[in-house]
Structure 1
């Protein structure tokens, strides 16, 4: 495995390739994301242990979307069975992925604990248990401070896990080393990652504005606008996850199945025809 350094404009390329991959298999990728979203939500609805289990399985869901995108660019149709990819590659692979999930859950719960020190746990309760957000709560300075604290701490923690599932799955790297290499890839390619991030932020803002303007022109009600925004957000999230496999492929030595084309095999020179020099 070798870490690659890419130029800043590669961030645009990642966005473009993710969009192209989604356009190849929009229904299959969207259905897989929706199924994983619903499954994780149902699991998280179980008090206490359900929320922890959903955090532990999150890297496996990310890996499933990466594998699905890899199949899509090879002309195959991803199926919901890919959600079980972590459980189908042997016990060692399963242990590594579950350990990766446990590390993610521990760190995330730690971040929620730090935010609880700021506002007494109200933001953590909203995020983990789905408690309702009232206007009074949303405008409370301590709640806002806790929200921003959790957000800022979650960013570097997420960078640790961005490439880790792919490193464990395709390169067989142990979880702790995978976290280190994932962070190094993000740090060494920070310019491309920032271009990627701000490109998607711009797409999100422009998309929300367009939906609002069109909805206003058509006289749609608040519920219809909300439904459109949710659908657009889920489609955008699916496409961002589709980008992950291209980022992984460009930052590390990719397995052959993640390349656009099969590896090139040099052909022996064609012998000259009889009678030719």
Structure 2
């Protein structure tokens, strides 16, 4: 395994490849994402340890969707991979190498909660409670300097954390890298390919904004044509669309890993 440095423009290629792969089996990818999110949501409802368990599952969820993308990407241009093969690839990846993935998940949960703990020093934990427990944000809270400071602290600390875990599940699964070393290799790979990662992120932000505008227009038009009860349907359309876009995003992460490391 060797680090591969790619041009910045490759970030846009990763997004395009992810979207093309998603369109091969959109129902399979969307179903996988909904399944994994349901597992995380159910785990988060457990008393006391629910939040920590939900955080521990996130690296495995990422790996499962990357494995599904890898399987779908094997298909020749113009051909659709079997939906069962895509689903099984994700589930097999999620259940293989359980011990190292549990270690990686535990590291993620501890470090993420540590980030929230540091941010709590700025506002007494208001932002952490909103993010982790879903507490309601009042206007006064959102406009307070301490809350905003906690938000920026959390964002600043989460960036290196996200880079460390970006490739880590894939490195553990496909290359057998120990969990702690995978964090180091992932961070270095993202840092060395920061131009491509930046273009990747900016491109996805543009895709999300454009999709949000389109979904909002469709929901507004639907409400105008149908009338009563359309508000709830429009809201469901926005939520469903956001979840589908999120599954597209995770589909594209496989290509960031594939091109960053070579055998």
Is this a same-fold pair by TM over 0.5?
yes
How far apart, in 2, do the equivalents of 1:225 and 1:208 lie?
A: 12
Deviation at 1:140, TM superposition (A): 2.9
Query: Within 5 Å, which residues of 2 pair with 1:1-277?
Result: 1-74=1-74, 75-77=81-83, 78-79=86-87, 82-83=90-91, 85-87=93-95, 89=96, 93-220=97-224, 222-253=231-262
| Residue-by-residue CA offset, 1:30-51 (whole Å, 9 max, x unaligned) | 0010011111011111122111
Aligned length: 250
Q: Secondary structure at the match of 2:3?
A: coil
- Give the structure-1-normalised TM-score: 0.84
Over aligned residue pairs, what C-alpha RMSD do you find? 1.8
Q: Which sections of structure 2, spanning at least 5 residues, go unmatched?
A: 75-80, 225-229
- Is the contact made by 2:215 and 2:238 (CA closer than 8 Å) also made in structure 1? yes
Judge which range, 232-241 or 163-172, deviates more.
232-241
| Residue-by-residue CA offset, 1:210-263 (whole Å, 9 max, x unaligned) | 222333344455544432222221111111111111111100126xxxxxxxxx
How far apart, in 2, do the equivalents of 1:175 and 1:3 lie?
A: 17
How far apart, in 1, do the equivalents of 2:249 and 2:36 lie?
A: 15
1:189–1:25 distance in 2 versus 1, CA, 3 Å: same
Q: Secondary structure at the match of 1:79?
A: helix
How far apart, in 2, do the equivalents of 1:110 and 1:207 lie?
A: 34
Judge which range, 24-33 or 42-51, deviates more.
42-51
Match of 1:264 in 2: none
Q: Which sections of structure 1, spanning at least 5 residues, go unmatched?
A: 255-277
| Residue-by-residue CA offset, 1:41-81 (whole Å, 9 max, x unaligned) | 11111122111011112111110111111122232322278
- Is the contact made by 2:66 and 2:90 (CA closer than 8 Å) also made in structure 1? no
Deviation at 1:103, TM superposition (A): 1.0
Deviation at 1:163, TM superposition (A): 0.4
- Is the contact made by 1:60 and 1:83 (CA closer than 8 Å) also made in structure 2? no
How far apart, in 2, do the equivalents of 1:141 and 1:219 lie?
A: 38
- Give the structure-2-normalised TM-score: 0.89
Q: Which structure would you say has the larger Rg?
A: 1
